[in-house]
Amino acid sequence: MKIKDVIGVTVFAIIIFGIIIAIYFLGIAGIAQFLDIQYDSLTSLGIFVISIFIIGFFVDLIFDGLTILAVEKLSDYFTAFIIQFLFTFVSEWIVIAIVVAIMETITIPEKTILLLAAILSLLGTIFDNKKRKMEKSTEN
């Protein structure tokens, strides 16, 4: 490859990455405004999201282990789904509450924290169950 080709591909990748990041943050800003989340700047909103990912990683390690232990022996799908949802809801609630308590640049009402935790845990539980079903079907 020539230097011009490498530079062209790199510049193109940076432009595409920038557009994706811009759309992501504008989407988050729109959702934040819809849910009455108040923040000082897009930077503080970005730090909020990154903090949720980092703290959530460690909290999820604990709660995913507890969830697997709790649902392992259950044969009823609905009961397992509800238990998994509750564990995920509590972990999401803890993570969001910790980040909101630490950050002074963002304000989220308590009801919105519960709503966000419920939405995130419902989506997480649904996608996790789809992934596990696909893994089970490929094992056979």
**pLDDT given for residue 15 in this prediction:** 92
- pLDDT band for 116, please (50, 70, 90 cuts): confident
Averaged pLDDT for residues 52-67: 90
Q: State how far the alpha carbon of 15 is from the alpha carbons of 9, 11, 45, in Å.
A: 10, 6, 22
pLDDT at 19 over 90: no
In whole angstroms, give the CA distance from residue 28 to residue 39.
11
Q: What is the pLDDT of residues 75-91, one digit of tens each?
A: 888 888 899 999 999 99
Q: Which of 26-30, 55-59, 106-110 has the lowest mean pLDDT?
A: 26-30
- pLDDT band for 59, please (50, 70, 90 cuts): very high
In whole angstroms, give the CA distance from residue 32 to residue 40.
12
The pTM (predicted TM-score) of the whole model is: 0.73
pLDDT at 39 over 60: yes
Which residues, including other chains, have CB under 8 Å from residue 56's CB and lie 6 or more apart?
91, 92, 95
- pLDDT band for 92, please (50, 70, 90 cuts): very high
Q: Considering only CA atoms, which of 119, 126, 118 is closest in space to residue 77?
A: 126
pLDDT at 28 over 80: no
